[in-house]
Structure formats: structure tokens, C-alpha cells
Structure 1
């Protein structure tokens, strides 16, 4: 089991300070020889990429994509526009790599970033492929991202039930990825910042082994992000570990309002629980 610790940060936002804490883990699993997953978890961007296209190609695709996104985070200017520019550069990186020339070489990418450019901070999720972002709010777990997969299209068309989809032979076939084509615009969802929210960002190596209920169970049992991530990874390995497994747990603490004298005070106000596509 890889070692993991929780990182914390007090983030200045319009009108106050937001307390964030997170932990990230990745593991090869029990059946794969190499880990084609890659991740980046550092404020304000938390992302997971799951590579495909053979032993070398998948690693190159996911690593290239994460490195381009890391540069965006390091620049301090994370937005849908800068993310799309980074993904376009990653596509060129993958296509030009001598060991990743196969048309099937590519990667999923999914995650969340904090947008503080408006009057109030918002989370924005991004997604290409079938890695996922979950949100636990008010005791309920919701999959925020929608899988870009053949199976999800069949479910949406009413031709498969969610239960049938879990073991469908085309379960690994995705319909969008970074690499195989030039179309790399993610789906976005904008979310309000709510005290007590918990995000899980993960590759399908986790969701192949744990149900949504199982993910929520380990979050409920472990208040610390590192403990929750480790518990989920251990359970996924015990359930078979058929694929590489990557998980990021991100917790949103109580925002502290800033008084006129500059001191911080707890904010007992609530924020609307709605969500909408980014940019609306």
C-alpha cells in the first residue's frame, strides 16, 4: 500500500477564507504490470488521467496530459480556456511521441478546480472519458460527471439497465479521449461551494471494484481524506484490483468570513445547493 498523507490549505476567496484538505493515491493493482494512471492534486486543480494504448502508449498519454495540466495549475490561471489549450498541447505531445503513434493511444481525464474569478467561488468539474468525479453532499453521493462510453450511451438510450451495464462486455470501450482525435473539449459542470462537501476523483479501476454505495461507506467511515483514500484503495484491491486504481479525496471545510478588522470568523450562512453547466 502506497503511503499517503492529508494536505491542507486555507484559500483566500471573495469575502473570506476556504479550508480545503485532500489526499491522493495510485496503485498498479493486482493484474496489471504497469500503472497507466497519472494524477495531479494541488490547489486549485485536482485531476486523474487513465491512459490506454498498450504498456508504453497509455503511460505516455496520461503522463503528457497531467504534465500539461500541472503547468496550467503552476501558472495560477486555471480556467476552461487554459485547460483546453493544455489538452490540445497534450494531444500534440502524444501524437509526436515515437512510442505512442498508435491511433488507440490516449487517455481519459477528469477532475475539479476552484474558480475564484467571480463574486463567489465555484467548483468546476471537467471530464473526458470514463474516469469519474463524485460529490457527497448532505449524506448523498452523486456522480457529477457522465461517462463517455458505449455502455453509458446504451443506458441513456434505455437499452441497458445500470445493473446490466456493470458487467457488459463493452464496459471498457470509451467514446471520447485525449489523444485519438483533435476534439478534446471536456464536459463541464459548475457547482456551488458548500461546507462539508467531499469530492472523489477516480479512475475506473476504483469503480470497477466499488459501487457508489461502497465509496460513500468508506467516506462515512473515514473523516480524514488520507484514511478514506487508503480504505477505498485497500477495498478495491481486495475485490480484485483488476485495473490500475487512482483516487483523490477532496474535502471542503467551513468557510471563514473576514471581518472589517481583518480577523476571521465562522460563517454560518448557507449557499444554494444547485449546479449548472460551467459558463451559464
Structure 2
């Protein structure tokens, strides 16, 4: 049985110019594409982000995951990160953002997950959409009308997050599930990218760099060249084959199924 969604990924990471350690960790192997941005002294952040990736790595090779699979991985990651904090390794914590491949009645879906201020975007029809919502102080101030998005970019509180895995946080992750579309390009990144490179430039790179690995490399290089004040990690994932209905498949090789009518959008948050 052919999978409902086949992808082509690329990924890159860099410690930046001001950090001795790279506390980011990532996984970019189907069906999991996630970035974790660790925090905490004495290597605690590095170990926390690695624990999250390890919790998801057991799913490598699966055709698709369900929401319960993601929740179980998160629960395992929380337990491991809390153990780091209680075993003398500092106040360990990490963000998590990304997408996994899901399936509904044989159709390909994206299942996005987020906790913290790493981000997941989708580029579709030339439009870059931020799927996730930051769990941060400045995001709350934007939503309350106390800050504009432009002011938030330089606000001194921009690095304070309100939810994490570990770091004494008990906040839940947010989830979104929506149908994959032929030509989707997903971007998952730590805030080392978005704090250095504006969304308009990110969109331009994603639109003009066809190869996902090259796109990831270019975005990381631009973040470092712009200042590299933090670790930066980027995953780019292209949907190259998408089942639009049970038994039909759209592919990038030019062989397109007779029925190419677009599916009704079904994006939405899941708690």
C-alpha cells in the first residue's frame, strides 16, 4: 500500500557566532520533522533537546503517525527532561515544533505540534503562513494589543517563553491537523532563524530555491551572516506525492491522476 504522503526533506544547523554549544536538536526523517531548542546551563539544554528527538526517533520508518503517537512521545520526553533537572544537570528545558506525516482514510495530512517559540510554517501558492503560535511573553502582548509585531522584534522580553518541555513548565502543546496539498513546502525552525531573517526574506528563499537541502543551507547561512546571535536550525520538507482521495495520488513526476480537484481546506487546532 502506497503512503498517502511522500516527502523530500533537507535540514541544516549551526551553533551561531556567540554560543559555544549548539543546544538545538532536530529530526528530519519520515514521518517526523521536528526541531527542539534546548535551554539550561551545564549542557542541560543540549541534553533536553536530544531527549525530545530521541523520543520521536522510534517512529522513523512508519508510514504515518496518529495524534496519540505524538502525545506519547511528548510524555516520554517530559519524563526524561524532568529527570535531567532533578539529577543535578541544571534547570533543563526545551521547545518543540514540527510536523509529522498523518493519514485520514488514506489521504495525506500534516500534523503540526508546538510548545515554545520555535516555529512551523507552510509555503503554498506563493504564500508563507505561520502555522504555529509562539508561547512567549511578546506574543501575549501582541494578542492583547500592547505590542505591535514590529515592536516585538526588538522588545527585551522577546526571548521569554511561557511554555516548554521541562524548565518547570506544565503547559500543554498545541496541535494542528490539515490536509497536505500537492506542492506544499513546510519549514520548521528554531528562533535562531526568525530572530535574524524576516519572513519576507524566508519566503523568497523558499520560493526561489527548489532543492529542500539547499534551501535549508541558505536560510541557516543567512541567519549566521545576519548576526548569528543564537543557535539556528532549519528543516524544509516538500510534499512530492500526495494522495488526495483513497486510491488516488498526485506526483511531481508529471503523472497526475485524472481527478485533480482540490480538497476542501480542513485546517484547525486540536487540543
Distance 1:239 1:122, change over 3 A: same
Q: 2:202 aligns with which of 215, 221, 226?
A: 215
Q: 1:271 aligns with which of 252, 263, 271?
A: 263
Query: Structure 2: how far apart are the matches of 1:122 and 1:26?
Result: 26
Structure 1 residue runs without a partner (length 5+): 1-9
Query: Structure 1: how far apart are the matches of 2:136 and 2:69?
Result: 25
**Shift of residue 248, structure 1, vs aligned partner:** 0.2
In the alignment, does 2:39 pair up with 1:48?
A: no
Report the count of equivalent residues: 260
Q: Residue 189 of structure 2 aligns with which residue?
A: 202
TM norm structure 2: 0.89
Distance 1:92 1:29, change over 3 A: same
In the alignment, does 2:225 pair up with 1:238?
A: yes
The answer to whether the 8 A contact 2:110-2:179 is kept is: yes
Q: After TM superposition, what 4+ stretches of structure 1 lie above 6 angstroms from structure 2?
A: none
Query: Structure 2: how far apart are the matches of 1:157 and 1:242?
Result: 28
- Root mean square deviation of aligned Cα: 2.2
Distance 1:52 1:182, change over 3 A: closer
**Shift of residue 59, structure 1, vs aligned partner:** 0.5
Q: Residue 63 of structure 1 aligns with which residue?
A: 50
Q: 1:127 aligns with which of 88, 108, 114?
A: 114
**Shift of residue 45, structure 1, vs aligned partner:** 1.1
Q: Residue 7 of structure 1 aligns with which residue?
A: none
The answer to whether the 8 A contact 2:42-2:90 is kept is: no
Query: Structure 2: how far apart are the matches of 1:255 and 1:190?
Result: 15
Distance 1:89 1:184, change over 3 A: farther
Distance 1:195 1:12, change over 3 A: same
**Shift of residue 235, structure 1, vs aligned partner:** 0.8
Query: Structure 2: how far apart are the matches of 1:228 and 1:75?
Result: 26
Q: What's the secondary structure of 1:253's corresponding residue?
A: strand
**Shift of residue 220, structure 1, vs aligned partner:** 1.5
Distance 1:11 1:230, change over 3 A: farther
Structure 2 residue runs without a partner (length 5+): 249-253
**Shift of residue 192, structure 1, vs aligned partner:** 1.3
Q: Residue 93 of structure 1 aligns with which residue?
A: 80
The answer to whether the 8 A contact 1:72-1:83 is kept is: no
